[in-house]
Amino acid sequence: MKSSPVEGLLVLADGARFEGEMVGAAPHGGVATGELVFNTVMSGYQEVVTDPSYAGQVVCFTYPHIGNYGTSAADDESRRAWCRGIVVRDFVGDARTWRSDGDLGGFLRAHGIGGITGVDTRRLTRHIRSHGSMGCAFGTAAEDVLAAAAAAEPGTEGVDLVSGVTTPEGYTAGTGPIRIVAYDFGIKSAMVASLASIATVDVVPASTAAADVLARDPDGVFLSNGPGDPAAVPWAVDAVADLLGRVPVFGICLGHQVLALALGARTYKLTFGHHGGNHPVQRGETGRVEITSQNHNYAVRARDGVVAEGVEVTHVNLNDGVVEGIRSVRARAFSVQYHPEAAPGPHDARYLFGTFRSLLGVND
């Protein structure tokens, strides 16, 4: 027998309020907080929830039906769920399909993640687009308690979230003839799998020094995705700066921002970020437009198309002109802001792993 729905409330830092019903795990003390963002994917909710890049955030799904095909261990993108909660219009908590081994309601409860359903997510998304990502609180506590918690939520700016999501110890994947050292800033399983298809991959903790990386004699270094503000991890920037010119480097998402900082660029926080699987990006070299998967609140700053001396902008977001890819003219290094491995999302940009392989001097 299904239990009766429990009423809940979502309150934003600016005082906006949204009524709904609680789903998943009950928040401790009746309150869950985080930085509220919206994601436009139509599927892949499990991959989103288990993506370490969402650490510290509450995710509002713009697609109305979430949970309608259950969950599967094969779709996990990391060892646990990292977001602090989800907001949905219509939560289907008990659905399964032929490939699922559980339902989303049970999945959220098992991972201690709560959510709120029945929310007018169209109105909420428009509010975020107008006012920007901001702190929020949801749960069963009184409205004044939730409002105070939302106002006190620090968000992600200036906060080192990488240290909390990185692997505590290194591990190896793949058996290819070339060796890649991958920095785990919050690396996704699909990213490791893409690299392991072309190389032996040593995944190392985010705090690994450049000297320790070079001691492994890698053919190349990979900088992964991850959560939060790149300016909050200067030790990662310093390590990458020490590697530039000594070994080829490829970065994705947070790795793209870290590489840019190491090359002398600057980063900034977007108003509401890019979170979804349908962002059009133009590749400057060919003019080709790629539909991409994205998840970031920070971006690399460009002034009159210039990021930093000796750095070429290779890809640009057609929605808002944000820098989506760079290449160092002097060092063998390049990066993209979006996710070529997708999971979830389109596969238009998977060629970039082949580009990295070619940079390492390996051709099929």
| Residues designated catalytic | 253, 339, 341
**3-state secondary structure at position 222:** strand
Q: What's the one-letter identity of residue 253?
A: C
- Is the preceding omega at residue 344 within 30 degrees of 0, hence cis? yes
Helix (H) or strand (E) holding 128: helix 121-131
Rounded Cα–Cα distance for residues 182 and 187 (Å) = 9
Q: What is the CA radius of gyration of the chain?
A: 20
82 in Cβ contact with 166 (< 8 Å):
no
Residues 6 or more apart whose CB falls under 8 angstroms from that of 66 comprise 45, 86, 88, 89, 90, 91, 92, 104
Rounded Cα–Cα distance for residues 131 and 120 (Å) = 17
Rounded Cα–Cα distance for residues 109 and 107 (Å) = 5
172 in Cβ contact with 200 (< 8 Å):
yes
Q: Which of 12, 271, 29, 19 is nearest to 151 (CA)?
A: 12
Alpha carbon distance, N-terminus to C-terminus of the chain:
58
State how beta strands 289-300 and 179-184 pair. Answer: unpaired
State how beta strands 200-205 and 179-184 pair. Answer: parallel
**3-state secondary structure at position 57:** strand
State the CB neighbour count (10 A cutoff) for residue 230: 26
